[in-house]
């Protein structure tokens, strides 16, 4: 696998959540720096060996906005 994409959203209770696209990997962190550390840990736990790890991890920040017309 060359690239693993995480959808990152702000948690309403504070911090951030990240969900991998196409893999069953979910994690959270209070700051972006902590989230990156938690993603590394989650990827390490998900794959059996470092040879299976993606070469790149892409963070896609998702923000929903609602406004009245």
pLDDT one digit per residue (tens) for the chain, 69 residues: 699 999 999 999 999 999 999 999 999 999 999 999 999 999 999 999 888 999 999 999 999 888 999
Other CB atoms within a 10 A radius of the CB of residue 61 amount to 12
- What are the extents of the domains in the chain? 3-61
Question: How does 30-42 read in b/e, with b if 16+ C-beta sit within 10 Å?
Answer: eeeeebbebbeeb
What is residue 50's predicted lDDT score, i.e. its pLDDT?
87
Output the CA torsion sign for 47, 45, 54, 28: positive
What CA–CA distance (Å, rounded) separates 67 from 27?
A: 29
pLDDT at 65: 85
For residue 64, what pLDDT is reported? Answer: 85
Q: What is the pLDDT of residue 27?
A: 98
pTM for the full predicted model:
0.87
């Amino acid at each position: 696998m060359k690239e693993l994409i995480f959808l990152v959203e702000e948690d309403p209770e504070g911090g951030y959540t990240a969900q991998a696209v196409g893999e069953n990997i979910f994690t959270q962190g209070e700051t972006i720096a902590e989230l990156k550390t938690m993603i590394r840990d989650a990827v390490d736990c998900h794959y059996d060996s470092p040879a299976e790890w993606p070469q790149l991890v892409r963070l896609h920040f998702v923000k929903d906005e609602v406004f009245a017309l």
